[in-house]
Structures are given as structure tokens and as C-alpha cells.
Amino acid sequence: MTGFNDREKRFESEFAHNQELKFKIEARRDKLVGKWAADLLGLSGEDAEAYAKAVVRADLEEPGDDDVFRKLRADLDGASKKISDEEIRTKMAECLEAAINELK
């Protein structure tokens, strides 16, 4: 029975590690896409950093990426930036790949 318990603990530990890594990757992606959007919005320095952090916080509102997308869409629309939904989603995907590569 000890072998089974050890195996179960190993799987639980691996699952927890994978969840933590997923969280870090998504947070990094959000920061990168937030910096991209900040640049489009004409923000720099501390304002750009604060905006990127706000994008990271937006991702905590609900599961999935839609909360981040909605924030970016609303902020870009509010600044009259002509960025398509496809461009935003493409940039989010690019930033996800970059985050994965950075955290490997």
C-alpha cells in the first residue's frame, strides 16, 4: 500500500507544480500583452508598468482568456485604436509563446 500512497503523492505534487507553472506562464503572457497594449495606448514608464499589472489582475476575474481580451478590447476601443479582435488574439498567442519560452 505504501507504493500506491507514494505514487499518489507524486501525482499530486506534479499536478500542483503544473498548475503553478501554468499560472506563471499566463501571468507573464498577460504582462507582455499588457506592455504591447500600453505602447499602443501611448503609455510609458510607470504608467505602462501599471497598465500591464492591471491586465494581469484582469485575468483573475474568471477562468480563461476572455477577461483579458475584454479588457484589452475595451481599453483600445476607448482610445479609438483600430485594432481587430484577430490582432488582439494573435498578439495574446504570440505573448503566450514568448512566456513559455522565457519560463523554460
Residue 46 lies inside a defined structural domain of this protein? yes
For 16, the grid coordinates are 500542483
Q: Which amino acid is at 47?
A: D
- Domain range enclosing 58: 24-103
Domain membership flag for residue 69: yes
Is this prediction's pTM over 0.95? Answer: no
In a domain, 14, yes or no: no
Total domains, the chain: 1
Question: Can you give the CATH number for the domain in which 90 is found?
Answer: 1.10.790.20
Question: Could you tell me the CA-to-CA distances from 17 to 25, 56, 64, 95 in Å, in that order?
Answer: 12, 20, 19, 22
How do residues 39-92 score in pLDDT, each as one tens digit? Answer: 999 999 999 999 999 999 998 888 888 999 999 999 999 888 889 999 999 999
Residue 95, amino acid = C
- Confidence label for 97 from pLDDT (cuts 50, 70 and 90): very high
Rounded to whole angstroms, the Cα distance separating 82 from 92 reads 17
Residue 35 lies in a domain: yes
> Is residue 38 in some structural domain?
yes
Cell of 20: 503553478
By the 10 Å C-beta count (0-12 exposed, 13-18 middle, 19+ buried), 41 is classed as middle
pLDDT at 103 over 80: yes
Is 17 part of a structural domain of the chain? Answer: no
